[in-house]
Structure 1
């Protein structure tokens, strides 16, 4: 078989081309490398040569060298990003019910989109509404959500039990159903939640006007139990979530797992296509983990260094990124982990890219958006790629936010007391200033003493106003063009927080029995097992989707409002029945 020929960099896919310099201060930011072979030698620039060189083409992860700022962003498969975006956003494109006659002009005209094209025509024996097409006279029915459901009166009880950390066996006991009946119930609730979310969130897709969003983005890992005593390795999957800090609305919670694909079939296709001999970004299935690649990653794995101080943790994260083969991939693959037995695991950086391009679709009507990102080079790259036009137009900014999560309760209290003492002293010294003005003053003082950390000399501000959930916090402004005055910039530093997504993550752990943190035993050599954890990763996908809808539309806060009410997607708290029987 002849050697395959590839373009210089991966070609654009469905409008996505992510292979450009990710340094916002560089003139190459947003300017993709050419897909064509470039002229060389004297006068190459005058013959149309671009400002990149592809390096490491013989390695599994080639990169482009930016001639302007000397950065080396790794190449990514635009097709892989597009596939992940399609998977993540598929719930938004629910198929419309229309005239079943292929020859009729109303065949592609939905009942809900154009009700004037149809006549209500009674109901079926099961109670499903029937319609007749006004053009061809063909009659048809729309099945009710509960058609074919056994014991539909138990749906609400099961929904409530799932959302209140009840283990599956206890749900079966309380609801008086068999375990074989529970999983179809979960499938049904999942379909209904996605249909309900699609109906509401298409308003965002259609450009619903929102003045400002302050969006925190982070990842949470979940464990899948081993199912064979002969192989007690765990599967660890990562979900990226984003939430608005002001309203609490969670826009997405996306697991790096595709349940629709068969890993064995993908492996066969990859081998026959020669994928193992091809660099990752040019593969047919670039976004998916193959077994051989996973085994190679295990052999290359190294334990991360642990540094107690916040600045030390930030430094270690930069150092870890520099030494990775792919700076954007932060997955830790060890010998105690394995790929899922069902479905396929997605390279986490592709889920990150898919997540941010998904947010870009949702935020079309947002006037300005500020992202507060966990310190993760893959997250940074995905955000700066998806929102490049908005960042260049100065309607989008991005910040790293790093929280010291290793402090004891006593250390948190001491830090909080020190902060309050400093604030009171500043108030005493400046009696003419309001509280907010004192805050800005203290932040501006720290802006003059920011630490440069890591290879890229990023400047980090230690936030002067901690709380118990964020006791020690450092912030790095990733898109600083120097065009904001110091007051504006100080106010943005003050807004920087992971509060929105952290609240959701905390509720996931507290309310979903499958996703409670596992406990490692001393003799397990890194392996973990937890009686309530999932055995099938697809259950995690479904429960996260269900819980996101429940959290956004049903759970009220101290202000008696849900996140959906605060952001403008609901007028009141949604009853479970309205989701369960959504048509």
Structure 2
């Protein structure tokens, strides 16, 4: 359409990516250095997409026996502020500077195929070692070795680079956010994802131990239809109205009624309990979620759980905290990704309706990371949202700037 070469497109994409990094260094990194939060709410979620399985040059493009549709599922870890919707980071779980040839060299040098996973130099990758032919002392059988070798050889026919475990990416993701943001108290909202929970508890272990960080988990039934979600919304609205009338509350605000209802429920509902051992006491998570009284039209009913010790919070404080538990911030940015970045659009359904086509997906996650950084910069500083005259960008809402930027400000910053 533009009558330009492929090299021109990717060169300009990388150039714009570097412009965004320079802009963020001035307006984001330096802005957060001068700003401190008493309490910050972070919503984290993961987005998945599949790469287009295009084989590298010279790797047998006419070999029809090779099919590996599920090997290149890629994760993107996204964290945004719950209130302002400012997106702090969006990281692709991929290392494009590492390849399988280096993995084979490390395996031979460090004997990583004979080490436990936590001892391996490259354990951050999904394929953490290059299979070696078993010796007499090995427990691995020869067919098992052939199966592993075939899998990694098939992967080597595709794009260079290595997929990283999403847990490792989340570690780095949260650590960098902690270095960027100065906050006295942290509040995390995620879905029931063990990789995100593990990263939070490792990176913010001291804050959790001092009761300065709490982790809230929001779970919903994704199998519900749009009709069922709307019925949940109507039922929740009717229940709160009837409950308010029963207790003679004068307010008709559903938000206020929901918070008052939570205060009553939390008198008897507990997320954790204290257990006494012979020489110490410990707080044990009960896995006892509470249904959120407010029910969005597009989400349906969902539950909220807290996996950290909130016994130090008063009932009204905990009720107010639960009212903040939602995933609107990350959902809003993910919708922007799906609609504005063609290579990260949702897959198409095939003509038979039995499968999905990822024909628009890219085959190199490096350029997905470039595009995400460009979109994140535009979304935070150039895209106002709100109603009426109160439209502001996420950067304005969080207090980094008092103006709406445009792309020219980013490109021609110098």
TM-score by length of 1: 0.59
Q: Contact 2:159–2:363 (CA<8 Å) still a contact in 1?
A: no
The answer on whether the counterparts of 1:207 and 1:363 sit within 8 Å (CA) in structure 2 is no
Deviations along 1:224-277, one digit per CA (max 9) or x if unpaired, are 111145334241110110001110100001111011223322332233221111
1:182-581, aligned counterparts within 5 Å?
A: 182-203=9-30, 206=33, 208-228=35-55, 230=63, 231-234=66-69, 235-290=72-127, 338=155, 341-364=159-182, 366-434=183-251, 435=253, 436-447=255-266, 448=268, 457-519=286-348, 521=350, 528-558=356-386, 559-581=390-412
- The question of 1:179 aligning with 2:179 is answered no
Instruction: Give the RMSD, CA atoms, in angstroms.
Output: 2.9
Shift of 1:498: 0.9
**What TM-score, normalized by structure 2, do the two folds share?**
0.81
Aligned length: 370
Q: Aligned partners of 1:342, 1:446: CA distance in 2, in Å? A: 54
Superposed CA deviations along residues 47-100 of structure 1, whole A, max 9, x for unmatched, are xxxxxxxxxxxxxxxxxxxxxxxxxxxxxxxxxxxxxxxxxxxxxxxxxxxxxx
3-state SS of the aligned residue for 1:459? coil
* Alignment partners' CA distance in 1, 2:354 and 2:102: 32
User: Shift in Å at residue 458 of structure 1?
Assistant: 1.2
Give the CA deviation at 1:359: 1.6
Q: How far apart are the structure 2 equivalents of 1:292 and 1:266?
A: 6
Structure 1 residue runs without a partner (length 5+) = 1-172, 301-333
Which 5+ residue runs of structure 2 have no aligned equivalent?
56-60, 133-139, 145-150, 273-283
The separation in 1 between residues aligned to 2:197 and 2:360, in whole angstroms, is: 34
Q: CA deviation at 1:205?
A: 5.4
Task: Report SS of the residue matched to 2:219.
Answer: strand
1:215–1:245 Cα contact (<8 Å) kept: yes
Q: Do 2:271 and 2:306's aligned partners in 1 also have CA atoms closer than 8 Å?
A: no
The structure having more radius of gyration, on CA atoms, is 1
3-state SS of paired residue (2:288): strand
Highest RCO, 1 vs 2 (Cα 8 Å, sep ≥ 6): 2
Whole-Å separation in 2 of the counterparts to 1:362 and 1:422: 43
- Counterparts in 2 of 1:66-105, with a 5 A limit? none
Q: What is the deviation of 1:204?
A: 5.4
